[in-house]
Amino acid sequence: MNDDVTVSLEVNRTPVARTVPARTLLVQLLRDELGLTGTKVGCDTSTCGACTVLLDGQSVKSCTLLAAQADGCRLTTIEGLATGDDGRLHALQQAFHERHALQCGYCTPGMIMAATSLLEELPRTPTDRDVRAGLEGNLCRCTGYQHIVDAILAVAAERAGSAAQ
């Protein structure tokens, strides 16, 4: 019996379609079929968050979804976050770079995607506690988290400042 499914979706603003076995996970579609290896696999228990992407603007762990569940959706991975045709870094990418919010970098794509969603969802400028609670599904084994939280708070403060002007 052929259990293949055809999945059509928009990935980083580009329409794509692939026919894959029905059991294919979303993270496998991204990495193995589309070559988007910025999305990482850090566990097999859905706990690390290294595989976090945005599905219709919401952060999801792409190892917990079948590729078929993303059919018709709009997906953003770390490769699609940079803004502008010149590849300018997203504010969060820049802040992580400037504030030393990574060491090995393995968790970083997932952290940045989760933070992107968090900053969109919070109705007010987040506190240190908000950021830590918002990122509780993302693990980092290197940094101790403080620099990650600082980078996210810096972007939030910058946005609040621009909005007030």
- Beta carbon of residue 101, minimum distance to ligand FES (angstroms, whole number): 8
What does the buried/exposed string (b/e) look like for 39-78 if buried means 16 or more CB atoms within 10 Å of the residue's CB?
bbbbeeeeebbbbbbbbeeebbbbbebbbbebeebebbbb
Least CB distance from residue 103 to ligand FES, whole Å? Answer: 4
Residue 102 beta carbon to ligand FES: minimum distance, rounded to whole angstroms: 4
Helix (H, G, I), strand (E, B) or coil at 61: strand
Pick from 140, 107, 135: which is nearest to 122 by CA? 135
Q: Which is nearer to ligand FES, 16 or 41 (CB)?
A: 41
The residues of the shown chain that bind ligand FES, judged by CB under 6 A, are 41-43, 46-51, 61, 63, 102-107, 140-143
Nearest CB to ligand FES, comparing residues 46 and 83: 46
* Residue number with CB closer to ligand FES (51 or 113): 51
